[in-house]
Structure 1
């Protein structure tokens, strides 16, 4: 949306720029999903080594996202957001350069792995400033009564980036396996330039930054801890699948590296489209008609069934169908968890519970790649999916046993 300025020159809406920022950040990250596995194979790296690339990135986000959120209260939102975007671009550019040198044989396998890991550490450290600062800016720009819809805008940008990224990564892999990496770097830098010229500083210097026992009070509620644990473990199961699906497709269908990247990109795009359709359509009605505990159980059961089907899949079509089922389950589970956590605390604890939720999800994203690739390499190609399916089934049984507590904590406060 364009806003008129007094001089008549059109001005980009800050909310539109924030939407673009999150969309491009997720697009730039998810274009790598189809190429990480075949790129690792081309570089002579193992499945477990490839898993470390995602694990250390999530570890840095887990550790540093709260830090950058606090710095945005001191330095201002805009400089911290721009730092995150430039850091994102820098780390991906370095990652692509090292990978290119490795493919050309200039760098040896051990050195390539160490340097690529360092690039991911740097990327996670700096890019972790992006999402929490963008959320804070959106909150600064939005009155309380419209805050939920504004945060939904960020969620939509997040989801759309994940939908289009894998398909784009698959297409770009036709140019070369490193092409999506350099694309991500350029996209991050472009977004930083757009943000520099269009975003205002949204932090008011008179805004209080309350400290105290808010976080401790949130964690003292046992049902909140249950929901956080549920989010961490379900994310672990999902990411274990995402991290190994490239290896699974290549080894099961006997595809070349380029064909693998294209096939996985199409499959993950279908996964994202299905999830986006369910979140954007069915969840609006289901959320009003079905209690949160039942929606959580439905999401876990659907995801678990999809994981089981994926462990048995032997063709591209059956794999795609299984991923679509997992996408439906994920779309039911994720927003229900966020809504239940939001409803479980008072208005002054929303930021704290959102921060703990982000940390729980980061824990899952950190552990999932390590578990998934270890299972794939040491137990069997289908092992990550039947283990994830079993974990989701255990979580389903647990949710069914504690559903009265979830209903109580997720009841809207009036």
Structure 2
């Protein structure tokens, strides 16, 4: 941790009541619970939407509605966290989860499904946790620490679909969604009791609502050296994987004919691979290679993986083909995320993370509708071919950069 960061921390009396290592462990545990709840509802959502008569294109609109809500809330949430602290920000994020999942569990019509998506406007639990980790670890360990956070998210991603699939099979989709809401409520209590109010120094005069919604304060971090370039790369290479993620549940049902519980097992497999890459692979790679080298590696691997994915005809082939894609894209996402926080001062890390997460929301806003039309009009292989073209072009540009 830098000297300036130490000074900031020592000037905030709240930090003295909590050991940073303990706070990190609490955040990591809460991420497991959050990811479990998110993927419980994620595994039941496509089946619930199908039960209510949602077709492929409307399902894409539902995914887009979720992404738009996240896009609107992410940057503001990041700025709020910078000014008002970790405890308040994380409490709001988990509260948004309670409302989102509860509304999904109570939904009896398509409009209620859409309303549940819009309630997720501040469902930024991963973003809030990344803000805490970024402020508590030294710059040189940041990528590894954020990767480890992804490891704990991966644990929840393994637990969630498996538990969600079994709850859905035994008690129904509504019970699965309400279980996720209950888990998010538990996370609120953990946050209020164990997470300090602030993990970095904030000037008292900055803590007002007007500063939270200041567009100029939010967007000025993009002017920092290298930030716009990293954002652009993240958005472009994220579109193909976003398309694949948005339609996978429908592909699993319609093309691979998987029941809900088997769909959960596949999602758990993806979670295990992601967890290993984030928790072990990223830490090893960042010690040996530069950020640019890892970005080049990620795009080359992803290009080859998309070509394989375009050719699969069964679920076992898909599980083989998805492995190198997860390795390449996960490495890129962690490296770019950490690199973005290094481009700004410590007081603005939350805002930068908010904008970084907003790029994910942009991808999620575009991808579901795009994926729905591609699946309906061009068929499943078109998704893989799109990834080959996009990642191939980005890879070539990175080698020329």
TM-score higher than 0.5 here?
Answer: yes
TM-score between the two structures when normalised by the length of structure 1: 0.79
For 2:350 and 2:374, how far apart are their aligned partners in 1?
36
Measure, in 1, the Cα distance between the counterparts of 2:148 and 2:265. Answer: 25
Distance in structure 2 (CA, Å) of the matches to 1:364 and 1:234: 10
Q: Quick one: distance in 2 between partners of 1:136 and 1:289?
A: 25
**How many Å separate the matches in 1 of 2:288 and 2:134?**
29
Matched, 1:325 2:328: no
Match of 1:226 among 226, 229, 245: 229
Alignment of 1:144-183 (within 5 A): 148=142, 151-175=146-170, 176-183=172-179
Change (3 A) 1:297 1:309: same
Q: 1:143 Cα deviation (Å)?
A: 6.5
Query: Paired residue for 1:97?
Result: 106
Q: In structure 1, list runs of 5 or more residues that go unmatched.
A: 1-11, 102-111, 403-414
* Post-superposition CA distance 1:39-85 (Å, at most 9, x none): 33232211121122222222222212232344446655434432322
Measured after TM superposition, the shift of residue 195 of structure 1 is 2.7
Aligned-pair CA distance for 1:218: 4.1
Counterpart pick for 2:183 among 187, 195, 211: 187
Please report how far the alpha carbon of residue 373 of structure 1 lies from its aligned counterpart in structure 2 after TM superposition. 1.5
Alpha-carbon separation, structure 2, partners of 1:204 and 1:309:
46
1:215 Cα deviation (Å)? Answer: 5.9
Matched, 1:18 2:27: yes
Is residue 115 from structure 1 mapped to residue 112 from structure 2 by the alignment? yes
Change (3 A) 1:28 1:144: same
Any conservation in 2 of the 1:61–1:125 contact (CA below 8 Å)?
yes
Q: Match for residue 62 of structure 2?
A: 53
- For the 8 Å contact 2:100–2:116, the answer to whether it is kept is yes
Q: What residue is the counterpart of 2:253 in the other structure?
A: 250
Hey, what's the Cα distance between the residues in 1 that align with 2:353 and 2:89?
Answer: 19
Secondary structure of the 1:331 match is helix
Q: What stretches of structure 2 of length at least 5 have no aligned partner?
A: 1-20
Q: Which has the higher contact order (CA 8 A, sep 6+)?
A: 2
The alpha-carbon distance between structure 1 residues 239 and 216, as it changes in their structure 2 partners (threshold 3 A), is closer
Q: Does 1:375 align with 2:374?
A: yes
Question: Pairwise CA RMSD of aligned residues?
Answer: 3.1
Compute the TM-score of the two structures, normalised by the length of structure 2. Answer: 0.81
Distance 1:283 1:67, change over 3 A: closer
- CA–CA distance in 2 between the matches of 1:71 and 1:200? 15
Question: 5 Å matches for 1:178-217?
Answer: 178-202=174-198, 207=203, 209=206
CA shift in 2, pair 1:327/1:43, >3 Å: same
- Of 239, 261, 278, 1:236 maps to 239
Displacement of 1:87 in angstroms is: 2.4
